């Protein structure tokens, strides 16, 4: 997974990274890794199809259907497993797009400055104060729901935080003596990037990306839950949306599996990402590490 690789480069060795994680961080990483693997191997792990009815409607969990079935008789386990793919896609996609995009923007603005920097900061200010969910709802409503649209819209919002943080770090870095010294030796931008900037920025960007992934997954789930998700996907939010739209959901106990399992999946992913994010934050900031906050 992307997370571990970046952490390795930063801390020098996957074993030391594992050791640096707290107990909860390790558990979170394990859970996340398991869920990702299930999602990726979904067609092989599930006996039934996520789209076609394969059993009685609203059946309780059993040996044949470990998570039960929904109102159409479609296996829930298959839906949840395949739904994980959407979350994975949205999370990773947004994190990469917004993360790298934001980092790149931050580096460019922080290092070069000038008019482009000022304009970008204005843009960031505007995007920061806009409430993202209403705008995302509006955009999704107008442009139609699809996973790609959602990724693009989410990225368009999320790149700003990373950009801001990275820019701030770049501003400090730019003034460091060793950068000035390297510049006076004739170092080009590419060299500075490779040798000095990226190693400093990577930890920041990594933490940002974890945050981004978590928020993107929640945002996609929220949109799907509202009914704005891609109807062709089987995202967890959409499953919950269908469940809640079912008349009588409150008076029966179908919710005990139809709602609970996607809910559980979502909560696990979000919490794990949050824990890993906090651990990474702790590792990246020597002050917090020392104080043990």
Q: Identify whether the C-beta of residue 162 lies closer than 8 Å to the C-beta of residue 99.
A: yes
Q: Select from 42-50, 125-133, 176-184, 200-208 the region that touches other proteins (CB under 8 A).
A: 125-133
- Which residue of 47, 56, 72, 143 would you call a contact of other proteins, by CB under 8 A? 143
- Which residue of 52, 119, 141, 181 would you call a contact of other proteins, by CB under 8 A? 141
- Which residue of 103, 139, 163, 204 would you call a contact of other proteins, by CB under 8 A? 139
Residue 97, Cβ neighbours under 10 Å: how many?
19
- Which residue of 53, 66, 271, 285 would you call a contact of other proteins, by CB under 8 A? 271
The token duo for 218 is 């929640």
Q: Does 101 bind other proteins (CB under 8 A)?
A: no
148 burial class (0-12, 13-18, 19+ CB within 10 angstroms)? exposed
Please state the closest distance from residue 222 (CB atom) to other proteins, in A: 5
The alpha carbon torsion through 265, 268, 271, 274 (nearest 10 deg) reads: -80
Rg (CA), the chain: 22
39 burial class (0-12, 13-18, 19+ CB within 10 angstroms)? buried
**Which is nearer to other proteins, 175 or 190 (by Cβ)?**
175
- Which residue of 1, 30, 116, 138 would you call a contact of other proteins, by CB under 8 A? 138
In the complex, which residues of this chain contact other proteins (CB under 8 A)? 122, 125-126, 129-135, 137-144, 214, 218, 221-222, 225-228, 240, 244-245, 250-251, 255, 259, 263, 266-267, 270-271, 274, 278
């Amino acid at each position: 997974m992307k997370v571990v690789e970046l952490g390795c480069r930063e801390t020098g060795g996957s074993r030391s990274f594992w050791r640096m994680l707290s107990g909860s961080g390790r558990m979170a990483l394990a859970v996340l890794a398991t869920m990702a693997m299930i999602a990726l191997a979904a067609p092989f792990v599930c006996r039934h199809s996520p789209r076609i009815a394969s059993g009685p409607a609203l059946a309780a969990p059993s040996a044949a259907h470990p998570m039960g079935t929904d109102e159409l008789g479609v296996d829930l386990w298959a839906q949840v497993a395949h739904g994980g793919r959407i979350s994975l896609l949205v999370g990773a996609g947004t994190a990469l797009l917004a993360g790298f995009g934001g980092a790149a923007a931050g580096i460019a603005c922080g290092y070069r400055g000038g008019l482009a920097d000022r304009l970008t900061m204005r843009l960031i200010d505007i995007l920061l104060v806009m409430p993202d969910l209403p705008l995302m709802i509006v955009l999704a409503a107008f442009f139609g729901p699809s996973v790609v649209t959602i990724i693009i819209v989410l990225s368009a919002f999320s790149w700003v935080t990373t950009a801001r943080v990275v820019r701030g770090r770049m501003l400090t870095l730019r003034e460091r003596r060793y950068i000035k010294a390297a510049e006076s030796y004739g170092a080009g931008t590419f060299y500075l990037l490779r040798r000095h900037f990226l190693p400093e920025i990577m930890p920041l960007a990594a933490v940002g990306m974890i945050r981004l992934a978590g928020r993107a997954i929640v945002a996609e789930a929220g949109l799907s839950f509202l009914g704005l998700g891609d109807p062709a996907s089987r995202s967890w939010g959409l499953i919950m949306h269908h469940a809640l739209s079912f008349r009588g959901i409150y008076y029966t106990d179908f919710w005990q599996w139809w709602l609970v399992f996607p809910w559980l999946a979502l909560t696990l992913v979000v919490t794990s990402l949050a824990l890993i994010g906090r651990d990474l934050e702790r590792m990246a900031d020597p002050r917090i590490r020392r104080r043990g906050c």
